[in-house]
Chains A and B, each alone.
Chain A
Amino acid sequence: MPAREGTYGLLAEFDTPGDLVRAARQAYQDGWRRLDCYTPYPIEEAAEAIGFHRNKVPLVTLIGGLMGGAAMFALETWISVLAYPINSAGRPTYSWPAFIVPAYEWTILWAGLSAGFCMLALNHLPALYHPLFNAPNFRDGATTDKFFLCLEALDPKFDLVQSRSYLEGFKPLSVVEVEY
């Protein structure tokens, strides 16, 4: 069941990444904020054009890595000193240099898992349904060889007739209305 009724936005289809980025940059400069580009491969310029410069994935990865390393080192220390102290060839129970290797591995493990899952969470994926999948030309192009710009209806500047002629000014292959 769709979450809303009505129009999600207007979707313009372009043939080259250059046309898409020029249109997106212009739309952002004209004050559009609820807009997004859809491309079959990563285009850094497209994200820059719509004002998306930074993301939180690196920070979360750093925190995850530090937590993983600290957790493993603490676990090793607790096991070797308190829970199950073994006299191994007269070495001290707190033989920290030996604990570095598993702590190092867990730093990487937690950092990697944090990077992967944080990327998914921030992208709101998995999301098996999205209104854009209703657009007739999205399926054939968006994951193959076409470049899309979507102006969303939630933007205060959105008006079905005016926005359509605004998009057509960029000379796209087509402009279609996307329903929820």
Chain B
Amino acid sequence: MATSKVNLKDRVDPATGEYRVIAPGETFRSVTEKITRIVLTPHTPLGWFAYFAVAGAGATMLMVALCWLFLKGVGIWAITQPVAWGFAIINFVWWIGIGHAGTLISAILLLFKQSWRNSISRFAEAMTIFAVACAALFPVIHVGRPWLGYWLFPLPFTMTVWPQFRSPLMWDVFAVSTYATISVVFWYIGMVPDFGTFRDRAQSKFAQYIYGILSWGWRGSARHWMRYETASLLLAGLATPLVLSVHTVISFDFAVAVLPGWHTTIFPPYFVAGAIYSGFAMVLSLAIPLRKYYHLEALVTERHIDNCGKVMLVTGFIVAYGYGMEAFMAWYSADHWEAFTFWNRAFGPMGWAYWCLITFNLAIPLTTLWSRKLRTNITFMFIISLVVNTGMWLERFVIIVTSLTRDFLPSAWGTYRATKWDYMTFFGTVGFFVFMFLLFVRFLPMIPMNEIRLLLPGAKIRPKTGPEVIR
């Protein structure tokens, strides 16, 4: 008991009586210096180049895999009948799910006034954008003739062919393209005032020009800030229903089909919760090395890691409910094929994947994340984030592959074994994602300075008698 009391005292600022998000002793200038130094330093750390080279090799592998794909066609992948979706759609759903946590942090937590999010919102948004870029790649290359990808859009062609709007695959086009656009707009607008800070703090003429142009001449006028805040709030309000709709529409791709194991109404909430679950895991996978490497422990504190762990616990239980409901409906529906599909998932030839996913997504995280001690243990949280990311990838693998390999007619059954090109494309996108993220960390403000300043005790206007000048 005694320790928890000391802990609480530590977490509350004695001067203001408010909960601390940022470590004590920071000022407007010190947080600004901390963040600008990462970008405006003339000395890029050697370690950055090392990671960049490894990630660049991964991105190059993706390019090789794509070149061979464009030369030979999708036959180099393992997809055939009956498994026509395979890795491409597994990776699509996995990547876009990861993106969702970024929007959740930047939009939904903003609406709920969860100010702790300010430290991690920017790089969570960057994560969203790069994850959506990786995700959007897969359906485009999966169509077989990616150079005709623009046929997905309602454009006037000479053949006068138009898209079929009754198909969830068509809805996907609009959901994902809207999601990507709004995420980029939200992300860029959020960075504009920070680009202004970079412009003003940069020493080299070149950096001043570049950040000056990127900042659009931001000067922090009170009128500008008001409109800016209104626009940010509106974008957050718009991104919230958007992010929920995107994974719902993606789950419709499955739920609208008649395939056993797909044709179920639990899919939309279960997909959205799974997306946020894996997304928060990815936030931790990125935040933990970053804060250590760039010494940002004062800005991304244990409280952030702890809160991410709590969100994972909640969404993990929603996912567990989804798994439970699938099992229950397999029995309760009294549908022969539904029951068989469930049995086949758990005990069929790919049962190993099902039990791995139960272990990675439910057994390990949902028993350990209850403990505050473990939630604030940084090494443990890093490992758990990788475990959950693997588990969520396996979830999509199980949903897609087990349902497709064995559906109604045993004569139409098949199997699925990914080729090296499948793996190269998948790990290539991981490399590309890290590659983009390293560029972002090096050249853009990864922590929103203007929002961090709001969290400092001197930021609020207090009555003259109160403790105003606490800096």
Residues of chain A at the chain B interface (Cβ within 8 Å):
15-18, 21, 24, 36-47, 50, 52, 55, 57-58, 61, 65, 72, 75-76, 79-80, 83-84, 86, 88, 91, 95, 98-99, 101-102, 104-106, 108-109, 111-113, 115-116, 118-120, 122-123, 125-130, 132-133, 138-140, 142-145
Contacts and interface: CB of A to CB of B under 8 A. Distances in A.
A88 B164 contact: yes
Interface stretch (B319-327, B361-369, B455-463): B455-463
A143 B165 contact: no
Contacts of A21: 461
A116 B216 CA distance: 13
B222 A144 contact: no
Contacts of A37: 221-222
B32 A133 contact: no
Given A18-B462, A43-B461, A98 B166 contact: yes
B interface: dominant SS: helix
A104 B170 CA distance: 13
Nearest to B182: A112
17 contacts: A16-B469, A39-B220, A40-B197, A41-B454, A44-B226, A57-B234, A65-B238, A101-B175, A102-B170, A105-B175, A109-B177, A112-B181, A112-B239, A113-B185, A126-B216, A142-B200, A142-B220
Interface in B108-137: none
Interface string B214-229: 0011111111111111
A48 to B, nearest CB: 9
B220 to A, nearest CB: 5
A66 to B, nearest CB: 13
A interface: dominant SS: helix
A80 B166 CA distance: 9
B109 to A, nearest CB: 17
Given A40-B28, A40-B197, A42-B228, A128 B223 contact: no
B223 to A, nearest CB: 5
B451 interface: yes
A50 B216 CA distance: 24
A140 B453 CA distance: 16
Given A47-B223, A84-B160, A144-B28, A108 B217 contact: no
Closest 4 CB pairs of A and B: A145-B28, A126-B216, A119-B231, A84-B162
Contact of B242 (A39, A108, A140): A108
Given A16-B458, A88-B166, A105 B227 contact: no
Nearest to B448: A41
Interface residues of B, number: 69
A61 to B, nearest CB: 5
Given A40-B28, A119-B230, A105 B165 contact: no
B216 A127 contact: yes
A120 B216 contact: yes
B304 to A, nearest CB: 20
Nearest to B166: A98
B56 interface: no
Contacts of A123: 221, 223-224, 227-228
Given A41-B450, A55-B226, A79-B154, A116 B462 contact: no
B193 interface: yes
B201 interface: yes
Contact of A17 (B160, B197, B199, B459): B459
Given A76-B165, A111-B234, 13 more contacts: A18-B464, A39-B220, A42-B225, A47-B226, A50-B223, A52-B223, A79-B154, A79-B165, A86-B164, A119-B189, A129-B217, A143-B196, A143-B199
Interface in B302-347: none
Contacts of B231: 57, 61, 115-116, 118-119
A46 B168 CA distance: 48
B29 A84 contact: no
Contact of A50 (B222, B239, B245): B222
Nearest to B241: A108
A8 B235 CA distance: 34
